[in-house]
Homo-oligomer: A and B are copies of this chain.
């Protein structure tokens, strides 16, 4: 492997047409060391088989997406969400990754404050269990564009405040440039998160955004100045894998190997 590609991880959603076995083969063919997995694709392949395929291909799993979605209208439903997060922890451990990414979930109603409290409570319930399995929870703030349907946690400041309630061995944050690039406080907040950064994800922000969900760009196609952000997470002590996570229909429509080739080239040029 080219040493400059050693930290690149292909988040498998970037080549969404590939099944898990295809993504594993594609990473191996592309000379990558890391892969980021999604629970739905792991489930479709089977957990044990997924773990074996990854291991046999000599890959490492940078993270599993995703736990979270804690807020719910009833205590019973919130309990079910916590249980599901415990299963996600088990899956992460079986796949050999130490990081479960949390997308915290939206409010079930218009009450953001209660929903944010449910997130804190859910994390507090799952974190010790996760630590016991060798898995840390990575709170990923999502772009405020997703505040209504995906996450009431929308700033790195919020994510760190949640993480700081628990030991760094249990909970940290995931910095995804697409979600945080706009934030006037982003550099100070990355600095604050030193020792808690469990993942660094890259893509680009197209302007104007072509679509709220499938509008992420390849690095270099958009508005995000990536080098200072990478420098900041490294200055904060993060030296782990860098996941390329691109939700973009045009990228998804490419043949998988072509998408991987493009991602490698853009990573080398822009990340």
Chain A residues close to B by CB (< 8 Å): 106-107, 110-112, 116, 143-150, 154-155, 157-158, 181-184, 205-213, 215, 222-225
Contact = CB atoms under 8 A, between A and B. Distances in A.
B158 A184 contact: yes
Contact of A157 (B149, B154, B184, B209): B184
A143 B205 CA distance: 14
Given A147-B205, A223-B110, A184 B212 contact: no
A148 B205 contact: yes
B148 A184 contact: no
Contact of A182 (B147, B205, B208, B211): B147
> Which one of A144, A155, A181, A183 has the greatest number of beta carbons of chain B within 10 Å?
A144
Nearest to A213: B208
A110 B225 contact: yes
A148 B222 contact: yes
A144 B183 contact: yes
A75 B107 CA distance: 46
A110 B228 CA distance: 11
Contact of A208 (B110, B116, B212): B212
A184 B145 contact: no
Contact of A144 (B112, B182, B222): B182
The 6 closest A-B CB pairs, nearest first, are A148-B207, A147-B182, A110-B225, A144-B182, A149-B207, A148-B223
A206 B211 CA distance: 14
A206 B52 CA distance: 42
B207 A106 contact: yes
Nearest to A145: B145
A192 B169 CA distance: 37
